[in-house]
Amino acid sequence: MRTYLDASVLVALLTDDPSTARADAFFRRHEPIAIVSDFAAAEFASALARRVRTGEIDAGAAQSAFSDLDRWIERVAERIEVASSDVVAATGFLRRLDLTLRTPDALNIALCRRANAVLATFDIKMATVARSLGLQVTEG
């Protein structure tokens, strides 16, 4: 199964996180073809930088996790880059006033849709909206 991984899943897979066991179990159970966007990788970096700023981890641990992500993507994942059509699609989602989306979630949903993949996320709100837009979603 082709599966687009959002940052919540990437962080859980590659760091010590409360959702790490869920992410590991999901990968053992399903053995998905992982798809990682350059945008999700940027969100991963943002999440780790925030952890450094709040003192949850040190800079060395963050740098190690960045390297782990790069190696993991190289070995295991299919990369997808943000295209202008993804931004247009995300904007369309955001202009729907019946959806409760933030821009990063809208962009991840647009990327997942273009990749024709199942969305893997631990973000319940994002999962709910993605389902309402017709995406198949797994929450691990």
- Please give the pLDDT value at position 61: 95
- Going from the C-alpha of 135 to that of each of 18, 21, 33, 115, 131, the distances in angstroms are 26, 24, 17, 11, 5
Is the pLDDT at 86 greater than 90? The verdict is: yes
Domain 2-138 has CATH 3.40.50.1010: yes
Average pLDDT of the segment spanning 43-64: 96
Above 80 in pLDDT, residue 8?
Answer: yes
Give the per-residue pLDDT at 123. 94
How much is the pLDDT for 31? 85
Six-digit token string for 57: 């981890």
Task: Give tens-digit pLDDT for 106-134.
Answer: 999 999 999 999 999 999 999 999 999 99
Task: Give the residue extent of every domain in the chain.
Answer: 2-138
> Which residue(s) pair with 39 in the sheet?
none
What pTM value is reported for the model?
0.93
pLDDT, tens digit (0-9, with 9 covering 90-100), for 87-111: 999 999 999 999 999 999 999 999 9
Q: Torsions phi, psi of 104, nearest 5?
A: -60, -40
Name the average pLDDT for the chain: 95
Nearest to 126 by CA among 100, 93, 96: 100
- pLDDT recorded at residue 38: 97
